[in-house]
Structure formats: structure tokens, C-alpha cells
Structure 1
Amino acid sequence: MCTCAMYHTKDHYFGRNLDLEFSYQESVTITPRNFPIPFRQEGSMNNHYALIGMAFVCGGFPLYYDATNEFGLSMAGLNFPGNGYFFKPESDGKDNISPFEFIPWILGQCKNLNEARALLDKIRLVDIPFSKELPITPLHWMIGDQSGSIVVESVRDGLHIYDNPVGVMTNNPTFDKQLFRLNDYRGVSAGPSENTFAKGLDLDPYSRGMGGIGLPGDLSSGSRFVKVAFTKMNSISNDDEDSSVSQFFHILGSVEQQRGCCDLGDGKYEITIYSSCCNMDRGIYYYRTYDNSQISAVDMHHEDLDGRDLVSYTLVTKQQINQIN
């Protein structure tokens, strides 16, 4: 499964963990403004805003997992099994967009959340797979800009758009239920715990961090939502770039998955294949991978954003160790 988050210091940051048991050989991919993006039902978008993000480039098409455009509007798709539902295309004036086209459709045309909301008012997410080898994946999405974020879920009774006051998202259940579950943890805190067990009973705060007792620590999506929301909303860092990026990866690290802890059977284990952090204001995409703890960075503004060709950077996956002696 996966986790997505936003974080603000002096600048604004958006990123995610991709948790899966296999990789599609994804790469950091820049889609410049004049790269033609064909849509199955809505023609081709030949001029659009530039994007940077993580994508599996298949047949020349960037299948984005997460991306940020040149204005900072950001978007990530996370697995939504059992809930995600997509409809048949109809000719009723709505835009028929397949889930694999959704990220470039929104980020290619919208500068901010207000523009994204306007586009969402006339969209239908449709059941059109990329290919026979790549069928439809049930997804839902978090979209954010420098002002906040929303969650978009296409389910059997239609398209739901939720305001996201915590700036995080995981997988199941639906976002409204995940958000409601935070009520169960209203008593936890980052500070020392208060003795409210019973009057007259002297209980000793024998350890630091006892205010967080009760926070879930398992790898289920509901538990990860609670843990990453608590971590993110209590996080403090300096506002320089290095400190902010470092803190963002620590936030994601609070719910990362280690090989062996999520056993899928047949020798398969879900792991955090990569973690990402994009500076939404500067267009710098940072990432690290399961076997490479070093943070790597790609700056979209170091490329020709008026070009017509995709620019892709293969992930650095081999561990980079600074040998001291």
C-alpha cells in the first residue's frame, strides 16, 4: 500500500511512500510543456504545464505515480482496492478520463486547487485500461497546492471530493472514515502524558514519549494514516531546504515498510520501494529507494521545459555509503 503527505516550512513539500512487492522500473520523469499527451477520449493536449514526478514510461507515455507541475500543484495516486470504481464513458458533456490519464489531465491544465476543483466538476473517471498487460488499478488521489489539499475518490455512487485538513492520505477505507478515526486518538500528545487514570492513584511517567501511548504501529493503511498524521502535524524543523527535506523523509519514515514485516505469501513482501519529496515552490524532486538511503535530487528547471521530449532519470538504487576510514 502507500502513504502520501504534505509539509510546510518556508517552502511547501509534497511526497509519498510507494509500498509494493515489485517495481515497474519507474524513473524520475519530466514532461515538458510541448510534449504531446494523448487521451483516449479527449483528444491530445499538445501544450500544457510542465510536470516532474515518478513515472513508469510505457510506450512513450508517462504513467505517473505522483507529480508536481511548474506552479506547485501536486498529485499522487494511491491504491484503493475494493472501493475504487470507474464508469463507462458517456457523451454527456463530461470529460471522460481514465485513471492512468488523471494526473497529467489535472496538472497539465491547472495552476492551483481552485482550478483543479473546477475541472473536477465536469470529469468522469472511466474504465479504460492502458493496455491488456496493464489493466485498471483501483486508485484514489490526493491533490495539493501551497494552500492545502483535497482527496478525490471515484466509488460506485460517484465522484467524492473531500477537504483534507491533515494533509495526509493512505489507502483504505474511504477518506471520510479515515479522518473520523482520528477522534479515537484525541488523547495522545507529543508532550508528557497526564495521569487521568483514577483519582488518588499516583502513577509514574517513567519514560519520555508516554504521551503517544496508544498510537498504532502496525502497517495497515488505517493505522498508517493515524501515525503519519500525528507525526506530520507535530513535526518541527528549521525552514532551510536541507532541514525541511530531511524532516519530510523522517515523516514518511515513520510508516515505511521493511522487507519481511508484510508477508504476502509465496516469498513476496511489501516494501517501501521509494520515498519522494518534491519542493512544490522550486520544482526539485527528491527521492530515496529501499536499498539507497542517500537522498537524490532532480531539478525540473535544469531542463528545457519548452521541449517536446520526455526527460527521464533512472533511479539510483545501490546503497551510497560514505566510508570514513
Structure 2
Amino acid sequence: MCTATNYTAKDHYFGRNLDLEFSYHESVTITPRNYEFPFRQVDDLTTHHAIIGMTTVSDGYPLYYDATNEKGLSMAGLNFPGNADYKPETPGKNNVTPFEFIPWILGQFETVAQAREALDEMVLVDIPFSPEFPLSPLHWIISDREESITVESVKDGLRVYDNPVNLLTNNPTFDIQLFNLNNYVSMSTTEPENHFSKELHFDTYSRGLGAVGLPGDLSSMSRFVKAAFTAMNSVSGETESEAISQFFHILGSVEQQRGCVALGDKYEITIYSSCCNTDKGVYYYKTYENSQVTAIDMHRIDLDSDALATYPLVTGQQILEQN
């Protein structure tokens, strides 16, 4: 399971936790403008916006998990089992496969508004990348500095939701997740007021009592509530260091620790957490074993190239020995 969000301090930031029980040997990949994206049913993109994000690269093709383009538009796909439903090819529509969805959107568009308009003519079709990489059941968050949307291909068609919390986790469907926030309207960052009874006096025995009842478990619905509360009340300074630190703390509020979610003989963990400065095109990440922040700047390569630039993750713990 996973959590994706975005956050604005002075600059705008977008990122996610990838929570799984295994790794696909992820790497940060920059796709420059002249790398040709071959698509299965729609026209290939021979030139496009440059893209940076997390991928598995197979046969020279970047399979993006989350990414940002050079214009600041960002997108991430999150697990959506039991609800995702991909369609047969539909005449007269742009038939895009789920593994092509991120580059198809980020390669062409600069804003959520442009992406939303394109979705009216698009169908997510049931065509896998390869036998080794079958389609994953996903839904997506698309964000820019101004707004976010959620995209879900379900049995009754493609659903596009305004996303006022700028956040996505997994099941259930986004409309239910958003409605569930009504149950937490009394949550507060300040000390609670006594609405229980005028006949009783209550001691404010601890800081943080305004958030009593905020979920702390690792289920997707609970993570949605916890991350939304954390992100929407989060306060950061304007420096890059302060902002990325705050962003990773937001994701850290819902990270998965090894041993807490058992899947047979394996455990789901937060394999990586990412934070991209969408204004500057700098992609930051941490991994489960490496809590040091690593940065990759898309503008430090030739963005008019036609060759992928791929950076394997630094996964071993980096420790500063101070004496």
C-alpha cells in the first residue's frame, strides 16, 4: 500500500511512500525531451516534456511509479486492488495502457486543467507491458501547484475526482475516503473544549488531546485520515531544507515498519519515500535502510538528449561519524 501527497511552502513539493513487501530494483530516472516514448495504441511521443521520477526500467523503457515533468505537473500511481478495472480498446478514444499513463500525461501537459480535459477522451485499456510485468491495479493522483485530481478506472468507467486534500492512499474508492473525513471534523491541533457536560471538569493532562481519535493504524483508510490531518495542518519554513524536512515528516507519519504488516513470510515496509521540488525539478528520496536524503537534479543533464539517465537507489545507511 502507499501514500502520496503534495505540499506548498515557498516552492511546491510532490512525493509518496511506496509500501510493498518486495522491491523491483527501483531507480530514479530522468527521461529527456527527445527520448521516444513508444505507445501501444496511441501515437508515440517523439518529443515531449522532460520527466524525472522513480521507475523500474525494463528493456530500456521507464515504468514510472511517480514523476514530475519540467513544467511542474506531477503524478503517482497507487495500489487499488479489487477496484481497478481496465477496459477493452474503445474506437474513437485515446486508448492508453496503465503503464503508459504517467508518461502520456506528463509528456504532453503542463497543468491539471489540461490533463483533466484530455481525460475526457481517454480510456485505460487492459494491455500489459510484458509477461514479466503484468498490469498492476492502480489509481492515480495528478497535481500541480494549484490543484489535484484523482483518477480511477472502475467497472462503471473512468472517474475523475477533485482532490481538495491533495492526498491519495489506496482502497476504498476516493469518494468514500473523502466522505469518511466527516467522521473526524472535531479533530484539532489545539486543546479540546469541554462539550461533554457542563457538570464535569476535565483535566488537560497532555498536549495533543485535540487529536484524540485520530487513526494510528496502517490501513489505507486510516492512513488517508492521518496523512490528511498532518499535511493540512503542517507548517514549514520557506528554505529548501526546512520544506523537504517537513515533507518527509508528513510521509513519516504514515510509514510502514518491518514486522507490523505480515504477508506470509514477508513484511510490507516503506521501500522508499520521495519528495520532488516541482518548481526546480529536484527529486529527493530516502529508503527504508537509508534515512539520509539523496537529491537528483534533472537540470544537471542534457534535457535535449534522447537517452535515459538512470540513478540506482542508495539503499545502505549513510552514517556521519562525528568523532
Q: TM-score, normalised by structure 2?
A: 0.99
Corresponding position of 2:28: 28
**How far has the Cα of 1:90 moved from its partner?**
2.3
**How far has the Cα of 1:210 moved from its partner?**
0.5
Alignment of structure 1 residues 68-217 onto 2, 5 Å:
68-91=68-91, 93-217=92-216
Query: In structure 2, how many angstroms separate the alpha carbons of the residues matched to 1:90 and 1:247?
Result: 44
Query: In structure 1, how many angstroms separate the alpha carbons of the residues matched to 2:185 and 2:7?
Result: 21
Query: In structure 2, how many angstroms separate the alpha carbons of the residues matched to 1:320 and 1:134?
Result: 32
Query: In structure 2, how many angstroms separate the alpha carbons of the residues matched to 1:22 and 1:188?
Result: 35
Cα deviation 1:205-237 (Å, max 9, x = unaligned): 100001010000000000000000000001001
Q: Specify the code of the residue in structure 1 equivalent to 2:76.
A: A
**How far has the Cα of 1:115 moved from its partner?**
1.0
Please give the secondary structure, in 1, of the residue aligned with 2:150. Answer: strand
Query: In structure 2, how many angstroms separate the alpha carbons of the residues matched to 1:298 and 1:271?
Result: 23
Cα deviation 1:241-268 (Å, max 9, x = unaligned): 1100000000000000000000111x20
Please give the secondary structure, in 2, of the residue aligned with 1:294. Answer: coil
**How far has the Cα of 1:43 moved from its partner?**
3.3
Q: 1:270 aligns with which of 265, 268, 271?
A: 268
Corresponding position of 1:51: 51
Q: TM-score, normalised by structure 1?
A: 0.99
Corresponding position of 2:296: 298
Runs of 4+, deviation exceeding 6 Å: none
Query: In structure 1, how many angstroms separate the alpha carbons of the residues matched to 2:254 and 2:294?
Result: 20
Corresponding position of 1:281: 279
Corresponding position of 1:12: 12
Q: 1:311 aligns with which of 309, 312, 316?
A: 309
Cα deviation 1:1-29 (Å, max 9, x = unaligned): 00000000110000000000000001000
Query: In structure 2, how many angstroms separate the alpha carbons of the residues matched to 1:140 and 1:260?
Result: 27
Query: In structure 2, how many angstroms separate the alpha carbons of the residues matched to 1:129 and 1:9?
Result: 39
Q: Specify the code of the residue in structure 2 equivalent to 1:210.
A: L
Query: In structure 2, how many angstroms separate the alpha carbons of the residues matched to 1:121 and 1:155?
Result: 15
Corresponding position of 1:251: 250
Q: CA RMSD in A?
A: 0.6
Query: In structure 1, how many angstroms separate the alpha carbons of the residues matched to 2:180 and 2:117?
Result: 29
Query: In structure 1, how many angstroms separate the alpha carbons of the residues matched to 2:320 and 2:210?
Result: 36
Please give the secondary structure, in 2, of the residue aligned with 1:292. Answer: coil
Query: In structure 1, how many angstroms separate the alpha carbons of the residues matched to 2:25 and 2:134?
Result: 17
Query: In structure 1, how many angstroms separate the alpha carbons of the residues matched to 2:239 and 2:150?
Result: 29
Task: State the identity %.
Answer: 65
Corresponding position of 1:323: 321
**How far has the Cα of 1:136 moved from its partner?**
1.2
Q: Specify the code of the residue in structure 2 equivalent to 1:95.
A: N
Query: In structure 2, how many angstroms separate the alpha carbons of the residues matched to 1:168 and 1:46?
Result: 32
Cα deviation 1:145-175 (Å, max 9, x = unaligned): 1111000000000000000111111000000
**How far has the Cα of 1:114 moved from its partner?**
1.4
Query: In structure 2, how many angstroms separate the alpha carbons of the residues matched to 1:24 and 1:322?
Result: 29
Query: In structure 2, how many angstroms separate the alpha carbons of the residues matched to 1:135 and 1:28?
Result: 21
